[in-house]
Amino acid sequence: MIRAIARSLALCAILLACAALAAGAQDARLSARLDARTVTAVTRVLDSARTRSLPTEPLVQKALQGAAKRAPADRVVAAVRELLSELTVARSALGARSTEAELVAGAGALHGGVPAATLTRVRGLRGRDPVTVALGTLADLVARGVPVDGAVSAIVTLASRGASDADLVTFSNQVGRDIAAGAPPAVAARVRAAGANSGARPATVPGRPDNAPRGGGRRPAGQVPPGRP
Amino acid sequence: MKQSDEELLESVAKSLRAPVRASDGFEARVMAAVRTPERSSVLAWVVRPRVLRLSPLAGLAAAAGIALAVLSLDRAGLQREQPQVAVAPPTAAASVDTVQLVQFMLVAPNAQTVSVVGDFNDWDPVATPLREAAGAGVWTITVPLAAGRHQYVFMVNGNRWTPDPAAPLAVEDSFGMPNSVITVGESAS
């Protein structure tokens, strides 16, 4: 009886090992577009992500982006590793139940210099609502030249007032238009956040001739659209 | 008659009892073969046939193991086949998968071809070509995007990377060519 159980356990172990090997197999998309050495290195990073229960698809996409842009192999691997680190920190800051979309948005914010503690704070302020758009807006503000402190302050303020995803999208678009019209990024973010908080009409931002929206129109909630050039 | 049969049997038995003389060196070859070591103890153990007896309980355990392995393989395959679909956490009520139609547009009057390349099409430069509206130089396409923050860039004439002039740039610039970014919300709020 004991021998039979031992045999069964050994059989299960072999089968599970086979399953693990299959799960760790190389992604065909990578093999088709990267050299073998790079695929091996990226696959190791993917395996590391799996062991941490992190999503692997963003890492695959990072590698494919590098392949599309004909980046050197070392740079591709370094970019994938860096993203894995950011996803790890983002998951730690946002919680184990975070969605892949939230982790990617959080990683983007971290990449822009946003502290991990801010991600945790935004998560707390948003309650059970997703934080994808809030963190995406935060990263967008930083990318537009708003200092990290100012961007964090604006998003935290909006989130603490219960701003919806649509409100955040509107805010982001307004700040983007203000900056394009010549407003200093920090001022644009501060003034627009204040206007959104007060519930009043958007404030006039210094450096901008008028506040009339240009082009575009209403967009679906929760979506930052690629606008009209 | 009976006597002759007995004589015949005796003569046959006598010939069978006689020692057989093998060819010279036969004994030496046999002993050499016997003394030859086995190929490999591991290999011999693997190829040696044996009878495997399983009790019903052990059989059930083996079946459960096989089922578990098959399920693991199946899940791994599904994850690769549906890479773009975000998985909602089982208990996060506010996190609902959302796919929205997003229109990409680029004004490029002199372009021969324009495509959008991003993390929603595996960064494939030929997967998502834009169509020019009535030769006016306005190129558009509508693409369903899953919830999340997506990076993309336009490819003009198959060789020129062009960020969307109307969208924010991604703060990440891992490869020295800036991407545009679009965020699709997870909630309907």
pLDDT exceeds 90 at position A114? yes
Q: Rounded to 5 degrees, what angle do the CA atoms A106, B93, A132 make?
A: 20
Number of domains forming the structure of chain B:
1
Question: Does residue B146 fall inside a structural domain?
Answer: yes
Q: Is residue B172 included in any domain, yes or no?
A: yes
CB contact under 8 A, A229 and B184: no
pLDDT at residue number A157: 92
**Which tokens hold the place of A198?**
């007060």
Q: Which residue of B has its CA nearest to A67?
A: B123
The answer to whether A36 contacts chain B (CB < 8 Å) is: no
Which alpha helices (DSSP H) does B18-170 contain, by range?
Answer: 26-35, 41-47, 56-81
Please report, for the domain that includes residue B125, its CATH number.
Answer: 2.60.40.10
Average pLDDT for chain A: 83
Closest residue in A to B170 (Cα) is A143
In a domain, B69, yes or no: no
For A9-52, how does the pLDDT look when each residue is reduced to its tens digit (9 = 90+)?
666 666 655 555 555 567 899 999 999 999 999 999 999 999 99
Minimum mean pLDDT range among A74-88, A111-125, B49-63 = B49-63
Q: In B, residues 146-185, which contact A (CB 8 Å cutoff)?
A: 146-149, 151, 161, 164-172, 174-177, 179-185
Name the pLDDT band for A202 (thresholds 50, 70, 90): very low
Please determine, for residue A196, whether its predicted confidence score (pLDDT) is greater than 80: no
Report the sign of the C-alpha dihedral through residues A138, A139, A143, A147, in that order: positive
Report whether A154 contacts A141 (CB < 8 A).
Answer: yes
Residue B80 lies in a domain: no
Half-sphere exposure of B158 (CA within 13 A, CB side): 3
**Which pLDDT value is given to residue A51?**
96
* B108, part of any domain: yes
Q: Higher pLDDT residue, A1 or A193?
A: A193
- The pLDDT of residue B121 is 96
Q: Searching chain A, which residue's CA lies closest to the CA of residue B65?
A: A12
Q: Judge whether B163 lies within some domain.
A: yes
Q: With a cut of 50, which residues of chain B have pLDDT below it?
A: 70-71, 73-96, 188-189
Q: What is the pLDDT of residue B85?
A: 25
How many A×B Cβ pairs under 8 Å? 229
Whole-number Å distance between alpha carbons of A103 and A93:
9
Interface contact B166-A229, CB threshold 8 A: yes
- Tell me which DSSP letter residue B164 carries: -
Confidence of residue A6 (pLDDT cuts 50, 70, 90): low
pLDDT top residue among A67 and A196: A67
**Is residue B87 in some structural domain?**
no
Quote the CA–CA distance of A104 and A86 in Å, as a whole number: 9
Kindly determine whether residue A100 and residue B86, on different chains, have CB atoms separated by under 8 Å: yes
Within-domain flag for B106: yes
CA angle A106-A160-A58, nearest 5°? 10
Assembly ipTM? 0.75
CA B171 to chain centre: 33
